[in-house]
Amino acid sequence: MERLEVLKTYKIYIGGQFPRTESGRYYTPVNKAGKALGNICLSSRKDVRNAVSAARKAFGGWSERAAFNRGQIIYRIAEMLEGRRLQFIEELQLQGSTKKAAEEEVNLTIDRIVYYAGWCDKYQAIVSSVNPVASSHFNFSVAEPMGVVGVVAPENTSLIGLVSLVLPAICGGNTVVVLAAEHLPLCAVTFAEVVNSSDVPGGVINILTGSNKEMNPTLSTHMDVNAIVYGGNDALALKELQENAVLNVKRVFAYTNDWSKADAQGLHFISDTQEIKTTWHPIENIGGAASSY
């Protein structure tokens, strides 16, 4: 007797759980050949709200973790993703990539995760500074994560774009709510499964699928979102995000990099979602001949 294939249910990822969308709605994106990719959750504004709450809840613990430990955990994502390599390649091919391009994209994704894992305990030393001031103060500036970062993933890639935007934000101690590429959502959900098996605390990365047009306003007006990273290519959508962001003075960053390039990574992607805090510490003299330090 012929065996029936067991198909995967693509769900969203909120607070370390895989619920279906609260709205119960689905959509069925198709690839170029007209083949349905699957029934994908069409998330609603309440899913966005739940994801932001989960991200906020996870922020304290994640940002206070030792930087080195964050690096270890992020490295673990790369390890887990390596083990799922074939699944990602298959999904990328189903969504229209050639086999070669799919393999390259997965390789680059793993390398990029390792790259940002390495940055976790190093960017602080480069971004922060000790500042010369003309008063009796030890004056220093340190980088602190902004908080909850909304990530609108690029529309034209399924995996590498999303990872390139999410990793620098969590590397810096932020937590994220990701809106996956609407028409290429498969790898986003599988990436959530990888994250879930990688020691990343629930709520640090939350991934929603569905219509960006529908979710963008909720994400960008939400008072508890501190920054938005936009990877899309739609000037009007970006304008809407920027206007909504005014409500609570969110930072908005828009990137149009070609993420498939090996050099589309770097320290500034991390430092963008960092706030600089400067402290004036009263002290008589530092570094001079009379300094007792």
Partner 1 sequence: MKKNQDKKNRFQAEYLNSPAVDKVGVEERVARFQTRSIKDASKLQGLKMALNMIDLTTLEGKDTPGKVKQMCYKAQHLHDLLPGLPTVAAVCVYPSMVKIAKKEVAGSGVNVASVSTAFPSGQAPLDVKITDTKFAVDEGADEIDMVISRGKFLAGEYNYVFDEIATIKEACGKARLKVILETGELATLDNVRKASDLAIYAGADFIKTSTGKIQPAATMQVTYTMLMAIKDYYDKTGIMIGMKPAGGISTSKLALHNLVMVKEVLGSAWLTNEWFRFGASSLANDVLMQIMKAETGVYQSSDYFSID
Rounded to whole angstroms, how far apart are CA atoms 133 and 130? 9
Q: Which residues contact 124 (CB under 8 A, 6 or more apart)?
A: 67, 142, 143
Beta carbon nearer to partner 1, 60 or 266: 60
Rounded to whole angstroms, how far apart are CA atoms 189 and 179? 11
* CA distances to 105, 153, 246, 274 from 271, in Å: 25, 19, 21, 5
Rounded to whole angstroms, how far apart are CA atoms 186 and 189? 6
* Residue among 70, 76, 112, 222 that touches partner 1 (CB under 8 A): 222
Beta carbon nearer to partner 1, 52 or 166: 52
* Residue among 12, 14, 52, 192 that touches partner 1 (CB under 8 A): 52
* Residue among 28, 248, 278, 285 that touches partner 1 (CB under 8 A): 248
Beta carbon nearer to partner 1, 136 or 248: 248
Beta carbon nearer to partner 1, 49 or 183: 49
Contact 150, 175 (CB under 8 A): no
Beta carbon nearer to partner 1, 81 or 225: 225
Mark out the alpha helices in 65-196 (DSSP H runs): 67-83, 85-94, 99-119, 123-127, 160-171, 186-196
Q: Which of residues 110-139 bind partner 1 (CB under 8 A)?
A: none
DSSP β-ladder status, 129-131 and 137-145: antiparallel
Stretch that binds partner 1, among 22-30, 97-105, 221-229, 255-263 (CB under 8 A): 221-229
218 binds partner 1 (CB under 8 A): yes
* Residue among 223, 235, 289, 290 that touches partner 1 (CB under 8 A): 223
CB of 21 to partner 1, least distance (A): 17
Rounded to whole angstroms, how far apart are CA atoms 249 and 123? 25
CB of 145 to partner 1, least distance (A): 15
Beta carbon nearer to partner 1, 56 or 76: 56
The β-bridge partners of 282 are: 137
Stretch that binds partner 1, among 48-56, 80-88, 188-196, 227-235 (CB under 8 A): 48-56
- The phi, psi pair for 280, rounded to 5°, reads -105, 110
Site residues, partner 1 (CB under 8 A): 49, 52, 56, 218, 221-224, 247-248
